[in-house]
Structure 1
Amino acid sequence: MTGPNDGIYGYGHVIAALREGRIFADAYTHPDHVGAGIGTTLLTHIEARAAAMARGIASGDEATDVALVNYVLLGGDADRMLRARGYHLARIHKRMRTTLDTPLVAPVWPSEVSVRTCTGTAEDLRRVHECVEEAFGDRWGRAPRSYDQWAEDMIYEGFAPALWLVAERAGRVVGASLCRFRQVDDQVAGEVSQLGVRREARQLGLGRALLLASFALFAERGATSVGLDVDSESPTGAHRLYERSGMTTTVAIGQFELRIRR
């Protein structure tokens, strides 16, 4: 949305994930124009656009719902606006963080498990993808992702395979912690983008060992903190593992959904 002199007052966008039956939306209002109804107007346009997209993917005469998804901070104006428009809170995602300014706990690896860094070869990347896909297969609301879809998100410009920890047992990848660096308040911070363990290797302490090894990896490279995102209702109890490992919640983000009929 623009105002006088072509000033940008706010913007919004929608991204269709049709395979998942979802359309993701996001919108922002310029701080100088909060309270002027811009957010409401943007959301109205977003909903209309999402409805048009949903109609465009209809198959036959079957009436199928599509979820319009918005992620917002809980307890704020956006939270209240979405609820007032009929959105329901489907899930809460936590942003968790720990600092690296105290002595780190050494990881204890399960018997017969070895850990290494990713080689970055096409073969190794596919083995990691296969492991992560299985590990996240029981995560709420998640659709399977092909290697190409996963690689588009994870193998970015500047990708460093040395920051990916790979756990193997009997030559099979059974767990992985896929890490990267990011800037937070002008400081170097570590980010655990994905951490997963195959079902066959769970309940052995491997997830905690990978997390602690990730902390050490970042500390050795000068990071001052480590962060990650987690589903507050993870079926594997991942959020509790992170808490036991010294991480705390810094922000809670609500996943709000509105059903749109095709």
Structure 2
Amino acid sequence: MRVRPATTGDVDAITQLMNAHGTAVHGESEAAPTAVLEWLEDPELVIRLGERDGKLACYGDIMFSADGTRANLDIREHPDAPASAGPMLEELEAIANERGATKAWAFHASEERELAALVRARGYTPIRHSFRMLVRLDAAPEPAGWPEGTTVREMRESEQRATHAAGNEAFADHWEFEPTPYERFARWNFEGANFDRSLNFLALEGDEIAGICLCSMHWSGDPRYGWVGILGVRPPWRRRGIALALLLHSFAVFRERGCTRVGLGVDAESTTGALELYERAGMHVHRRQDTLEKLL
């Protein structure tokens, strides 16, 4: 298999591979061309493509941690190109080593048994797992209940840096936390075709940001699929029901817009009770993803 850098001319081929992979593994599409183009234009994301007989067989990318010491490896194999993930993993590890990373994380869905066996054979050890959770919006969600003195509204443009700071503070005590530089946070959350300011909510106590809920439509392009990208409450305001209220508020807004489902990702071993909170909001586990680590 020939492995090469990706270009913006590969948008359609990558989209087709991602969706073939997602349909085979999860029964649903994974990405729209607009999302793939944004990945290709991200200056920090390293993307490689594997080809067999002139056809795209495998996708791989690396996002380095902000300090450059950890390489996060994502590999998607076309269902018609078995065993293509091996050469891709070797290529991504070589790049990580060249750039000075000291460890690598690899990920696989619970259904990806061949990929799971491959990364373990390459010396990766399971360290964590996470869930993608989902709620169906067939019926109106429970009304949000706000603590006394707390209000909710859309984030204003002038509040983007304050929202970034609140997000870093909200997740500072989470597992393997690293502060996200504003430029990276803004690129992922406030820029791009999928950004919709009216889907970014702040819980306020006076002028203080107590919690944030940054949402968008899902990157698959499905107009009925909403996504909660970041939900966090700053420590002084925890245990007051603000996170649940923000989540229910987002569900109501998504339903008003015609969404039939909303998803989010969560650390399965979160110490803040996030998993239980999402279940109380009516969500259920839709997918499981394992994280594995290897020292380089």
| TM-score > 0.5, shorter chain as reference | yes
Cα distance, 1:165 vs structure 2: 1.2
Deviations 1:87-119 (A, max 9, x none): 011211100000110132011101111111112
Q: Distance in 1 between matches of 2:174 and 2:51?
A: 40
Query: Does structure 1 residue 112 correspond to structure 2 residue 149?
Result: yes
* SS of alignment partner, residue 109 of structure 1: coil
Q: Distance in 1 between matches of 2:98 and 2:142?
A: 53
Cα distance, 1:177 vs structure 2: 0.8
Deviations 1:132-174 (A, max 9, x none): 1110111211211232221111112242211111111131011
Within a 5 Å distance, the mapping from 1:151-162 to structure 2 comes to 151-158=186-193, 159-162=195-198
Cα distance, 1:27 vs structure 2: 2.3
**Structure-2 change in CA distance of 1:213 and 1:15 (3 Å):** closer
Q: Distance in 1 between matches of 2:178 and 2:197?
A: 25
Cα distance, 1:18 vs structure 2: 5.3
Deviations 1:152-204 (A, max 9, x none): 11112242211111111131011111111126695511111100101000011
Larger deviation, residues 187-196 vs 200-209: 187-196
Q: Distance in 2 between matches of 1:183 and 1:18?
A: 23
Query: Does structure 1 residue 242 correspond to structure 2 residue 278?
Result: yes
Gap runs ≥5 in structure 2:
1-49
1:51 to 82, 97, 114: 97
Within a 5 Å distance, the mapping from 1:22-41 to structure 2 comes to 22-34=70-82, 37-41=83-87
Q: Say what the alpha-carbon RMSD is for the aligned residues.
A: 1.8
- Higher Rg: 1
**Structure-2 change in CA distance of 1:87 and 1:183 (3 Å):** closer
Aligned partners of 1:187 and 1:224 also within 8 Å: no
Within a 5 Å distance, the mapping from 1:123-134 to structure 2 comes to 123-134=158-169
Q: Distance in 2 between matches of 1:195 and 1:48?
A: 35
Q: Distance in 2 between matches of 1:259 and 1:244?
A: 38
* SS of alignment partner, residue 144 of structure 1: coil
Cα distance, 1:234 vs structure 2: 1.1
Aligned structure 1 segments of 4 or more residues deviating by more than 4 angstroms? 183-187
* Aligned pairs, number: 245
Q: Distance in 2 between matches of 1:111 and 1:195?
A: 20
Match of residue 39 from structure 2: none
Q: Distance in 1 between matches of 2:196 and 2:84?
A: 41
- Tell me the TM-score normalised to structure 1 length: 0.87
Q: Distance in 2 between matches of 1:11 and 1:213?
A: 36
**Structure-2 change in CA distance of 1:187 and 1:154 (3 Å):** closer
Match of residue 223 from structure 1: 259
Cα distance, 1:243 vs structure 2: 0.8
Match of residue 41 from structure 2: none
Aligned partners of 1:107 and 1:208 also within 8 Å: yes
* SS of alignment partner, residue 24 of structure 1: strand
Match of residue 103 from structure 2: 67
Deviations 1:214-236 (A, max 9, x none): 11111111111110001111121
Match of residue 51 from structure 2: 2
1:13 to 61, 73, 81: 61
**Structure-2 change in CA distance of 1:184 and 1:28 (3 Å):** closer
* SS of alignment partner, residue 212 of structure 2: strand
Aligned partners of 1:117 and 1:163 also within 8 Å: yes
Amino acid at match of 1:116: R
* SS of alignment partner, residue 51 of structure 2: coil
Q: Distance in 1 between matches of 2:188 and 2:221?
A: 24
1:208 to 235, 244, 251: 244
Aligned partners of 1:20 and 1:143 also within 8 Å: no
**Structure-2 change in CA distance of 1:53 and 1:191 (3 Å):** same
Gap runs ≥5 in structure 1:
58-65
Q: Distance in 1 between matches of 2:244 and 2:95?
A: 43
Match of residue 20 from structure 2: none
